[in-house]
Structure 1
Amino acid sequence: MNKQASIASRQRAQGGFTLIELIVVIVILGILAATALPKFANLGGDARLASLNAAAGSLKSVSSMAHGQALVNNSNVTAADGSKTTMEGTDVNLVFTYPKADISTTTAAGLTDTDYTINVGPVTAVAGTTPAVASDEVLVRPKGISAAAGENCWIKYKQAASATVPPVVTVNANATNCQ
């Protein structure tokens, strides 16, 4: 009978995990989840920042392409406004052979009100939500950000001031501000 008791006790000892082992595994998984969670929580801000940087690049490309096309078409370089060029089926208004700060420029850049809030100046600043936009600027903000983030998560397109001063695209954003 000694053999049978020995076999039975071994089978009980190898039957599974103890409660303490299970608790230790759960605690370790909790610690790992707590350290990984902040990285995943910030992915929305990273995505909006990447979207804004892509939009800024698109505005710069449209500006360069429209300028080159206007020069090839012998547009009046000294004219302050009134000229147009067509890009991808969109008429783009020009100022000093560069795209004017209006909705035609953002449309040619592929920026729509589905993904972005687009403000064509002049716009008065709203404290804590919207920066001021001058009459020669367009402000682009991603949709889905908090009202407070709207003041610190944007790009501005400032049209050319003269034939020798090209437009300026300014990005004011980081992943934290674009939550």
Structure 2
Amino acid sequence: MKKQAGFTLVELVVVIAVLGILAATALPRFINVQANAQKAAAQGLAGALSSAASLAKAAWMAGGASGTSVQMDSSSVTVSNTTGWPVSTAAGIDAAIQDRAGFTFNAGTGADNATYTKGTCTITYNPSTGLATLGNAC
């Protein structure tokens, strides 16, 4: 008589049931991963905006606290000639950061707030304080 090798139907059903239970408990943990990643990217960009604004102001102050532009890395950044914070235009705060992480830049008029948006996340840059804040929908 030949000895047969392999799995019985009962063993296969038990393995499939165990895998189903594991999938049912793990799935809810991975559903919200994209939303968490988008929020983390927005928090990172908000921090980068605040840091870039602080670096621009520091360069403006080190240069004698005068003028309307500072040199940062390889770009010239337009700043307010009274406060030193980058203005809310493409030549201001958007030139001060190096990567937007896929966010769309919506310029202000210089003294008005600029925004960065991606999906439901919005980050607002305030050129009078140099701070970036995260919107509630993110």
Relative to the length of structure 1, the TM-score reads 0.64
- Of 34, 47, 64 in structure 2, the residue corresponding to residue 74 of structure 1 is 64
- Of 141, 144, 147 in structure 1, the residue corresponding to residue 117 of structure 2 is 141
Separation (CA, whole Å) in 1 of partners of 2:20 and 2:53: 51
Q: Over aligned residue pairs, what C-alpha RMSD do you find? A: 2.6
Cα offset, 1:68, TM superposition: 1.0
Separation (CA, whole Å) in 2 of partners of 1:75 and 1:83: 9
Per the alignment, residue 84 of structure 2 pairs with 97
Cα offset, 1:21, TM superposition: 2.2
Per the alignment, residue 119 of structure 1 pairs with 106
Separation (CA, whole Å) in 2 of partners of 1:119 and 1:26: 51
Structure with bigger gyration radius: 1
- Of 152, 172, 175 in structure 1, the residue corresponding to residue 135 of structure 2 is 172
Separation (CA, whole Å) in 2 of partners of 1:107 and 1:92: 6
Q: CA offsets, 1:113-136, max 9 Å, x none?
A: x711111137xxxxxxxxxxxx61
Separation (CA, whole Å) in 1 of partners of 2:103 and 2:132: 16
Separation (CA, whole Å) in 2 of partners of 1:28 and 1:141: 43
Per the alignment, residue 38 of structure 2 pairs with 48
Check conservation: 1:116, 1:141, Cα contact below 8 A: yes
Mapping of 1:3-18 within 5 angstroms?
Answer: 8=1, 11=3, 15-18=5-8
Cα offset, 1:107, TM superposition: 2.6
Cα offset, 1:63, TM superposition: 1.0
Unaligned runs of 5+ in 1: 1-7, 77-81, 123-134, 161-165
Q: Matched residue of 2:98: which SS?
A: coil
The count of aligned residue pairs is 135
Q: CA offsets, 1:62-119, max 9 Å, x none?
A: 111111111111234xxxxx7111212222111211111112312321134x711111
Amino acid at match of 2:98: G
Relative to the length of structure 2, the TM-score reads 0.81
Amino acid at match of 1:107: A
Counting aligned pairs with the same residue, the percent is 32
